[in-house]
Chain A
Amino acid sequence: MEALSNIVSEINGVVWGPLMLALILGTGLFLQSRLGFMPVRKIGYGFKKLWAGRQGSGEGEISPFNALMTSLAATIGTGNIAGVATAIFLGGPGALFWMWCTALVGMATKYAEAVCAVRYREVDELGNHVGGPMYYIKNGLAKKWHWLAPAFAIFGAIAGFGIGNTVQANSVASVVKDTFGVDTMVSGVIMLALTAAVILGGIQRIGAVAGKLVPFMAIAYIGCGIIVLGLNIGEIPGAIAFIVKDAFTPTAATGGFAGASVWMAIRFGVARGVFSNEAGLGSAPIAHAAAETKGPVSQGVVAMLGTFIDTLIVCSITGIAIVVTGAWSSGATGAALTSAAFEAALPGVGKYMVSIVLAIFAFTTILGWSFYSEKCVGYLFGVKAIMPFRILWVLAVPLGASLDLGFVWLLADTLNAMMAIPNLIALLLLSPVIVKLTKYYFANDGEEMPADAAAEGSGD
């Protein structure tokens, strides 16, 4: 186990080296500049659209409240609660700054992914829309690039077991052990049973209930976070200054904190930022493709807002809370660190709130990510492979719960990077189409470009 952990650590060090960082941040920056920084400039427009409510292209309008809730539910999760904590634990408070940078350029990446997902989606034999990187590669790029599609599908199928499964189970198990003293294996088995009930037993009610709880959990977490920040309001400017300064200077070891170089702050800030907002991974477009939407750009705007809310708002709340309460040097990591920070500000309440909120988020993420990985598996092997996949998915849950925290996060990072590579390459190649669709939309007052007109000039 030790040896395996070391191997993964080594691979991770290589994979998340300067090249990967350049690819992730560089793609985002490139897309931002090609789009004239539209994702940043049009944030207000995006919020306005969200608030005004979206119209389903089939039946029914979604009310503004529901639109916002769906958006929140989709973006907030374990990354915002535990991921930030691990980034700070390993990279120091400066890692949060690098998470912000990742999100700022990531908004363009996320936007691009959603645009491509909707633009190049297909209809499957059941009449459902299917899309995602495999489809935008296959339908948008010249034949010589088509190998990227199965490459993405393979990595996506595997990566899900990291970010979408083991890390989630692990985070819940660790915080539940910390707060309630329940053994990690017990948590693991309970989650296995619930997951199996939904995806193998078809008892969708469980998933539906959890899904309905998510918006409320999100509000509870954000609300609590704001209270924690409010209680420490005097220290916030100092904390932010510390975070920014720490982003560019090595962090000395102090208390339970082992010390970190600038490089570590960058590396973990970016890696956990990507974990949290999933910009560049290619997973979110698989869901965006299934959405009822007016068109690619409309969906893109929703997606980029999600990134903004996720990292620049919610991760910041968590990160600043961790720094401002001093918990960052306590030696705790993951959800337990966040829990400690909230508990320090709200004794008796903080711990329980974080544990319960995280459990719901993690569970819905385990269910949700099974969809992404399942689509990848289906793309590669067809419908027959789906049942075996679901069984493996369910079995991975208790495994994730009992593995070492550091190990599962590193493993997830590594797999995320592999999944991102084909996706980012595809986005770079498709950037001319993305820019064209965007320009048309904003020049024509929110009218989407007709599909056939957009077909010319696809990247090759």
Chain B
Amino acid sequence: MYKKILIPIDYADEASWKNALPAAIDEAERHGAELHAITVVPEILRLPNLPENYGSGACDHVKKTVEGIVADNGGTATVVAREGSIYREILKEAHAIGADLIVIASPKAEFMNELMGPNVARVVRNAHCSILVVRD
């Protein structure tokens, strides 16, 4: 039923993929779908006192990290790394690849008693396709 699945992964937070990645890999296998992963680097401020190409290697570096995470979980995915606003890049990528399912983790939030973090909420509210929210 699903042909293209997108999973957003936070390169620095295990909670974003601990349960969601196995779930995404499982869904991909079950439907014979392509698995795509996206990770977003918050915009790096290139201030005047920093070297000229400061942060230019960040996307590549982070992409490798996430490729490693996917491989460790026994999956194969096309990984992309983007820089910018987290939820916006996720939505853009989902739209760009024509995803029909987004698998996203929503672990128990630490801060306040919210059910869903702001990025997850924005993705859920605005995505063009179905979403699978994976809880702990």
> Please, how many angstroms separate the alpha-carbon atoms of A291 and B11 in the complex?
24
- Does any Cβ of B come within 8 Å of A133's Cβ? no
Q: Which 8 A-B pairs have the closest CB atoms?
A: A211-B48, A127-B61, A368-B49, A126-B58, A364-B48, A127-B57, A367-B47, A125-B12
> Please, how many angstroms separate the alpha-carbon atoms of A199 and B45 in the complex?
7
- Does any Cβ of A come within 8 Å of B121's Cβ? no
Question: Given that A59-B53, A126-B41, A127-B61 are known contacts, is A370 also in contact with B47, CB under 8 Å in the complex?
Answer: yes
Chain A contact-residue range equals 20 to 34
Q: In the complex, which residues of chain A have a beta carbon less than 8 angstroms from the beta carbon of B51?
A: 290-292
Evaluate contact between B12 and A204: CB separation under 8 angstroms.
Answer: no
Further 18 A-B residue pairs, CB within 8 A, beyond A58-B57, A383-B42? A56-B53, A58-B53, A74-B49, A125-B62, A126-B58, A126-B62, A127-B62, A128-B55, A198-B47, A204-B45, A204-B46, A211-B49, A214-B48, A290-B50, A291-B51, A292-B51, A364-B48, A368-B47
Contact of A202 among B45, B55, B62 (CB under 8 A): B45
* Interface SS, B side: loop
- Does any Cβ of B come within 8 Å of A100's Cβ? no
> Please, how many angstroms separate the alpha-carbon atoms of A291 and B53 in the complex?
10
Within 8 A of B (CB), among A349-378: 364, 367-368, 370-371
Residue of A nearest to B84 (CB): A202
Interface centre among B42, B46, B48, B58 (most CB of A within 10 A): B48
> Please, how many angstroms separate the alpha-carbon atoms of A198 and B44 in the complex?
11
- Does any Cβ of B come within 8 Å of A218's Cβ? no
Residue of B nearest to A125 (CB): B12
Evaluate contact between B55 and A73: CB separation under 8 angstroms.
Answer: no
Interface 1/0 per residue, A144-186 and B, CB below 8 Å? 0000000000000000000000000000000000000000000
- The minimal Cβ–Cβ distance linking B66 to chain A, given in whole angstroms, is 11
- Does any Cβ of B come within 8 Å of A313's Cβ? no
Q: In the complex, which residues of chain B have a beta carbon less than 8 angstroms from the beta carbon of A58?
A: 53, 57
Contact of B58 among A127, A202, A208 (CB under 8 A): A127
Q: In the complex, which residues of chain A have a beta carbon less than 8 angstroms from the beta carbon of B49?
A: 73-74, 211, 287, 364, 367-368, 371
- The minimal Cβ–Cβ distance linking A391 to chain B, given in whole angstroms, is 14
Residue of B nearest to A127 (CB): B61
Question: Given that A126-B58, A127-B58, A128-B58 are known contacts, is A371 also in contact with B65, CB under 8 Å in the complex?
Answer: no
Evaluate contact between B48 and A202: CB separation under 8 angstroms.
Answer: no
Residue of B nearest to A370 (CB): B47
* Interface SS, A side: helix
- Does any Cβ of A come within 8 Å of B54's Cβ? yes
> Please, how many angstroms separate the alpha-carbon atoms of A199 and B47 in the complex?
9
Question: Given that A126-B55, A127-B58 are known contacts, is A287 also in contact with B50, CB under 8 Å in the complex?
Answer: yes
What are 13 of the A-B contact pairs (CB < 8 Å)? Answer: A56-B53, A74-B49, A125-B11, A127-B57, A127-B58, A202-B45, A211-B47, A214-B48, A287-B49, A364-B49, A368-B47, A370-B47, A371-B50
Interface 1/0 per residue, B120-132 and A, CB below 8 Å? 0000000000000
Evaluate contact between B48 and A368: CB separation under 8 angstroms.
Answer: yes
Contact of A125 among B43, B46, B60, B65 (CB under 8 A): B65
- The minimal Cβ–Cβ distance linking B13 to chain A, given in whole angstroms, is 10
Q: In the complex, which residues of chain B have a beta carbon less than 8 angstroms from the beta carbon of A198?
A: 45, 47
- The minimal Cβ–Cβ distance linking A230 to chain B, given in whole angstroms, is 31
Question: Given that A126-B61, A127-B61 are known contacts, is A290 also in contact with B48, CB under 8 Å in the complex?
Answer: no
> Please, how many angstroms separate the alpha-carbon atoms of A287 and B47 in the complex?
11
> Please, how many angstroms separate the alpha-carbon atoms of A204 and B54 in the complex?
13
Interface 1/0 per residue, A369-412 and B, CB below 8 Å? 01100000000000100000000000000000000000000000
> Please, how many angstroms separate the alpha-carbon atoms of A123 and B31 in the complex?
39
> Please, how many angstroms separate the alpha-carbon atoms of A98 and B53 in the complex?
38
Q: In the complex, which residues of chain A have a beta carbon less than 8 angstroms from the beta carbon of B48?
A: 73, 207-208, 210-211, 214, 364, 367-368
Residue of A nearest to B55 (CB): A128
> Please, how many angstroms separate the alpha-carbon atoms of A170 and B43 in the complex?
30
> Please, how many angstroms separate the alpha-carbon atoms of A370 and B45 in the complex?
10
Q: In the complex, which residues of chain A have a beta carbon less than 8 angstroms from the beta carbon of B43?
A: 202
> Please, how many angstroms separate the alpha-carbon atoms of A128 and B61 in the complex?
9
- The minimal Cβ–Cβ distance linking A324 to chain B, given in whole angstroms, is 32
> Please, how many angstroms separate the alpha-carbon atoms of A291 and B50 in the complex?
7
Residue of A nearest to B110 (CB): A384
Interface centre among B46, B50, B57, B61 (most CB of A within 10 A): B50
> Please, how many angstroms separate the alpha-carbon atoms of A73 and B48 in the complex?
9
> Please, how many angstroms separate the alpha-carbon atoms of A56 and B51 in the complex?
10
> Please, how many angstroms separate the alpha-carbon atoms of A146 and B135 in the complex?
38
Evaluate contact between B46 and A128: CB separation under 8 angstroms.
Answer: no
